[in-house]
């Protein structure tokens, strides 16, 4: 159990986690792929959980190096379930209306070969830089 | 290389499908089919300038592309690597072409502060929150700032309550801090109840730690050691994630005794609400937490003087809290540069109704309704005409096309007869009947009124009855005066915020859509075709061939006519179920 007892502890922890998150965001030499699945109530109701389970099982089966993270609402309620895929060294891409068939296509084309597939949701907001 | 073609509803209507096909076939003709891919995307939100084609990876953003532009895009851009200047977006301010979409002002329309972590971090993992600068604001407060400095920073930031009323948060904290007692409380109001609103739920589900951190800061600022989150039991996932987050924060020593070695102690518990709308009102909320009936009481005393268990209590909304850590981290002077003079920062809206991109958006205060609807929301469904946007839920009113260019902030919305509310925004087009909308909200208020004070309990019921009478076609012009007068009386005499604002939907629709009320009363007509009692089904004698399909399917035998002769609907018997329209193969039946 990591107890944070002081400001120094918090800073140290932040540092180490940030490195991890940075690697995740920017990808690394081994071509780690990150997939974020929007799992707020709305996403789950639209089937995000099944999609995430399916994608985890499928990528595992094919021996792909993919890290899955569940996140909160991305805001695209009109296109749930939504997932964001970040390939090593590339900008994150958001896909909407991801059902199992679409998930398969994303794994097969985008994650495997970097080939985009229909159904991209263009991101149109800015987040404050931390 | 990838060519992204917008496949959103708006662009689709202006032939984006054809553009995508043209691109594909031209590429195949040139033997580039394997190297360059054409992808259909969701709505870019920039429908005003559609169809959109974006070229990746260089981020070139082409607007108002026509199918005949395809040859140029491929010849010039794809093959020769030269941008097709005439299709580039022109910046309305400096009239220059913008090649890279990252420099387009349009992408600066939305700014995520309260939602900064939603959709980015794993809400169930405290380490991800810490990695995203989480709990550093708390550390800053405990280590470097006195409680007075914290309060001053919040005051200076200009942050106002995001639950609807817009009371200055810093001032609220200051009042609570000045009331001395052996025990004080910090309460997070997560009793989100406006129809169509889900901002708070999304924050709690996507970034629960930000709320916990802010509440702890709040505790430090006012001298409270206990925090309570009043959350509706209908939000099981949010509850679940909050419980996980609280457990993790305790485990990591960020809640509990001696937080970060500062000696400060704070802990948070949940309290569940049963979903009564009135419990979003802070005094009712406090009574509900105490185990009493969720009824409001007269203010003063304010909760800051005598709240939960008669102790000084500070109540803030979820979204308000989500803004706190970032204000502490980046400073009040960063925050107060965003927004308008009297409304600082951003506001999260749940965009719903007849709009293409239904979703959760966060925009700086001062943005116009036009920008929200046409540039973020992707315009009205089916390309129909915008009629009104309802903000503030049952306490709010309608903004019309006259308000499209009004900067949205607390004060402008009130001046326009609506209010910010918690952030639900329901967009309506010509298929919405404004009288029926007012009736809908009144129905909600009548249902949710706690019944304690007469103006709200009886007055709203009467308002609803009059509206019902008008939508049934039995209204008189006198009813309009009665609606107005009664509304004013309720506003002036009701006990709490719920009652005082409940006539707003009526007042605002009468004000803005007077003609529509008059039509219902005098012409017995509902132009949107919503009020069933005012509709009449008629058979066009020219179109009708006398096939008898309608007569055979009418459940009340209201249609008469001989075979191969024109049929007639007996309007006295007709129940307006619409079965005949469905069955008629000749489009002979219409509603008027």
pLDDT digit string (tens) for B280-302?
999 999 999 999 999 999 889 99
Give chain B positions within 8 Å (CB) of A119: 40-42
Same domain, B151 and B74: no
Q: Which CATH number covers residue A32?
A: 3.40.30.10
Q: Which CATH number covers residue B558?
A: 3.30.70.20
Is B233 within the bounds of a domain? yes
- Give the Cα separation of B455 and B494 in Å (integer): 5
Q: What is the pLDDT of residues B297-327, one digit of tens each?
A: 988 999 999 999 999 999 999 999 999 999 9
Give chain A positions within 8 Å (CB) of B380: none
Is B117 within the bounds of a domain? no
- Give the Cα separation of B575 and B532 in Å (integer): 9
Residue A102 forms contact with B (CB below 8 Å): no
Is A65 within the bounds of a domain? yes
Same domain, B89 and B204: no
- Say if the Cβ atoms of A73 and B206 lie within 8 Å: yes
Structure tokens at B311: 């102790």
Is A7 within the bounds of a domain? no
Same domain, B425 and B438: no
3 state SS for B431-478: CCCHHHHHHHHHHHHHHHCCCCCHHHHHHHHHHHHHHHHHHCCCCCHH
Give chain B positions within 8 Å (CB) of A42: 198
**Closest-CA distance of chain A to residue B568, Å:** 43
The DSSP 8-state label assigned to residue B482 in this structure reads H
- Say if the Cβ atoms of B203 and A6 lie within 8 Å: no
Same domain, B158 and B260: yes
CA closest to A68 among chain B residues: B122
Give chain A positions within 8 Å (CB) of B326: 128
- Are residues A32 and A65 in contact, defined by beta-carbon separation less than 8 angstroms? yes
Q: How many residues does chain B have?
A: 592
* Low-confidence residues of chain B: pLDDT under 70: 45, 92-93, 101-108
Same domain, B166 and B278: yes
User: Which among B17, B37, B42, B247 is the top mutation candidate for probing chain A, defined by the most A β-carbons within 10 Å of its own β-carbon?
Assistant: B42
Q: Domain limits at A99?
A: 27-113
- Say if the Cβ atoms of B120 and A36 lie within 8 Å: yes
Closest CA to B581 of B546, B535, B549: B549
Same domain, B405 and B363: yes
Q: Which CATH number covers residue B205?
A: 3.40.50.11540
Give chain A positions within 8 Å (CB) of B122: 69-71
Is B554 within the bounds of a domain? yes
**Considering its fold, how many domains does chain B have in total?**
5
Same domain, B135 and B240: yes
Same domain, B425 and B441: no
- Give the Cα separation of A96 and B252 in Å (integer): 36
Is B501 within the bounds of a domain? yes
Cis omega (within 30 of 0) for bond into B554: no
Is A16 within the bounds of a domain? no
* Low-confidence residues of chain A: pLDDT under 50: 1, 27-29, 130
Residue where a domain terminates, one of B478, B501, B523: B523
Q: Which CATH number covers residue B515?
A: 1.20.1440.230
Residue A4 forms contact with B (CB below 8 Å): yes
Closest CA to B211 of B274, B151, B268, B280: B268
Least CB–CB distance from B45: residue in A69, A77, A124: A124
User: Which among A78, A114, A116, A119 is the top mutation candidate for probing chain B, defined by the most B β-carbons within 10 Å of its own β-carbon?
Assistant: A78
Is A12 within the bounds of a domain? no
**ipTM given for this complex:** 0.77
Q: Domain limits at B554?
A: 536-591
Q: What is the pLDDT of residues A14-27, one digit of tens each?
A: 888 777 666 555 54
The rounded mean pLDDT for chain B is 91
Residue where a domain terminates, one of B429, B460, B479: B429
Is A86 within the bounds of a domain? yes
Q: How many helices (H) and strands (E) does chain B have?
A: 24, 20
Residue A122 forms contact with B (CB below 8 Å): yes
- Are residues B82 and B30 in contact, defined by beta-carbon separation less than 8 angstroms? no
Residue where a domain terminates, one of B497, B523, B549: B523
Q: Which residues pair with B424 in a beta bridge?
A: B350
User: Which among A1, A4, A94, A117 is the top mutation candidate for probing chain B, defined by the most B β-carbons within 10 Å of its own β-carbon?
Assistant: A4
Same domain, B149 and B136: yes
Q: Which CA distances in Å does B98 have to B31, B372, B591?
A: 30, 22, 49
Same domain, B182 and B297: yes
Same domain, B457 and B581: no
Residue A45 forms contact with B (CB below 8 Å): no
Is B365 within the bounds of a domain? yes
Three-state secondary-structure class, residue B570:
coil
**Considering its fold, how many domains does chain A have in total?**
1
Is A77 within the bounds of a domain? yes
Is A53 within the bounds of a domain? yes
Is B114 within the bounds of a domain? no
Least CB–CB distance from B131: residue in A14, A79, A116: A14
Interchain CB contacts (distance < 8 Å): A and B: 175
Give chain B positions within 8 Å (CB) of A117: 39
Q: How many residues does chain A have?
A: 130
Is A93 within the bounds of a domain? yes
Same domain, B326 and B451: no
């Amino acid at each position: 159990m990591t107890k944070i007892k002081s400001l120094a502890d918090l800073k140290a922890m932040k540092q180490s986690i940030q490195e991890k998150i940075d690697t995740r965001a920017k990808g690394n030499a081994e071509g780690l792929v990150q997939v974020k699945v929007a799992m707020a109530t709305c996403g789950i109701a639209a089937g995000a959980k099944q999609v995430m389970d399916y994608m985890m099982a499928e990528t595992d089966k094919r021996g792909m190096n993919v890290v899955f993270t569940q996140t909160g609402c991305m805001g695209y309620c009109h296109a749930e379930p939504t997932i964001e895929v970040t390939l090593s060294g590339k900008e994150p891409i958001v896909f909407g209306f991801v059902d199992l068939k679409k998930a398969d296509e994303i794994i097969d084309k985008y994650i495997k070969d970097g080939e985009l597939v229909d159904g991209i949701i263009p991101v149109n907001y800015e987040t404050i830089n931390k | 290389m990838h060519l992204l073609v917008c496949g959103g509803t708006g662009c689709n209507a202006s032939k984006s499908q054809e553009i995508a096909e043209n691109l594909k076939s031209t590429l195949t003709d040139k033997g580039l089919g394997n190297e360059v891919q054409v992808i259909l995307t969701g709505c870019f939100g920039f429908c005003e300038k559609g169809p959109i084609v974006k070229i990746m990876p260089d981020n070139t953003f082409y607007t108002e592309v026509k199918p005949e532009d395809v040859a140029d895009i491929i010849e010039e851009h794809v093959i020769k690597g030269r941008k097709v200047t005439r299709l580039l977006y022109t910046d309305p301010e400096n009239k220059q072409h913008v090649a890279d979409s990252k420099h387009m002002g349009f992408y600066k329309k939305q700014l995520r502060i309260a939602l900064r972590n939603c959709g980015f971090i794993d809400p169930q993992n405290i380490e991800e929150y810490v990695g995203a600068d989480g709990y550093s604001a708390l550390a800053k407060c405990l280590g470097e700032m006195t409680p007075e400095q914290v309060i001053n920073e919040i005051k200076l930031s200009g942050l106002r309550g995001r639950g609807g009323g817009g009371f200055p948060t810093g001032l609220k904290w200051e009042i609570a801090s000045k009331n001395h007692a052996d025990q004080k409380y910090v309460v997070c109001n997560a009793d989100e109840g406006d129809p169509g609103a889900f901002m708070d739920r999304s924050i709690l589900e996507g970034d629960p730690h930000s709320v916990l951190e802010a509440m702890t800061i709040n505790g430090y600022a006012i001298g409270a050691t206990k925090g309570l989150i009043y959350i509706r039991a209908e939000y099981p996932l949010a509850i679940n994630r909050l419980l996980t987050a609280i457990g993790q924060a305790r485990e990591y020593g960020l809640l509990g005794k001696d937080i970060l070695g500062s000696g400060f102690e704070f802990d948070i518990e949940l309290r569940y609400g049963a979903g009564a709308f009135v419990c979003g009102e802070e005094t009712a909320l406090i009574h509900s937490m105490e185990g009493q009936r969720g009824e409001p009481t007269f203010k003063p005393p304010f909760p800051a003087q005598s709240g939960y268990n008669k102790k000084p209590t500070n109540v803030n909304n979820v979204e308000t809290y989500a803004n706190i850590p970032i204000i502490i981290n980046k400073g009040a002077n960063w925050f107060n540069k965003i927004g308008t003079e009297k409304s600082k920062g951003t506001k999260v809206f749940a965009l719903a109704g007849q709009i293409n991109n239904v979703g959760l958006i966060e925009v700086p205060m001062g943005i116009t309704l036009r920008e929200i609807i046409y540039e973020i929301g992707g315009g009205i469904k089916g390309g129909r005409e915008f009629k009104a946007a309802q903000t503030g839920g049952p306490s709010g009113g309608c903004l019309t096309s006259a308000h499209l260019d009004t900067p949205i902030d607390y004060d402008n919305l009130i001046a326009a007869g609506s209010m910010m509310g918690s952030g639900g925004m329901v967009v309506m087009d010509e298929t919405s009947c404004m009288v029926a909308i007012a009736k809908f909200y009144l129905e909600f208020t009548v249902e949710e009124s706690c019944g304690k004070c007469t103006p709200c309990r009886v007055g709203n019921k009467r308002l609803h009855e009059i509206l019902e009478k008008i939508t049934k076609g039995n209204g008189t012009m006198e009813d309009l005066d009665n609606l107005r007068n009664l509304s004013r009386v309720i506003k002036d005499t009701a006990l709490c915020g719920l009652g005082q604002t409940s006539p707003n939907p009526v007042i605002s629709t009468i004000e803005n859509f007077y003609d529509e009320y008059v039509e219902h009363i005098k012409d017995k007509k509902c132009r949107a075709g919503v009020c069933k009692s005012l509709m009449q089904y008629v058979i066009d004698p020219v179109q009708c061939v006398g096939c008898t399909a309608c007569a055979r399917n009418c459940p009340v035998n209201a249609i008469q006519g001989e075979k191969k002769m024109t049929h007639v609907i007996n309007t006295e018997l007709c129940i307006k179920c619409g079965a005949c329209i469905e069955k008629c193969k000749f489009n002979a039946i219409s509603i008027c």
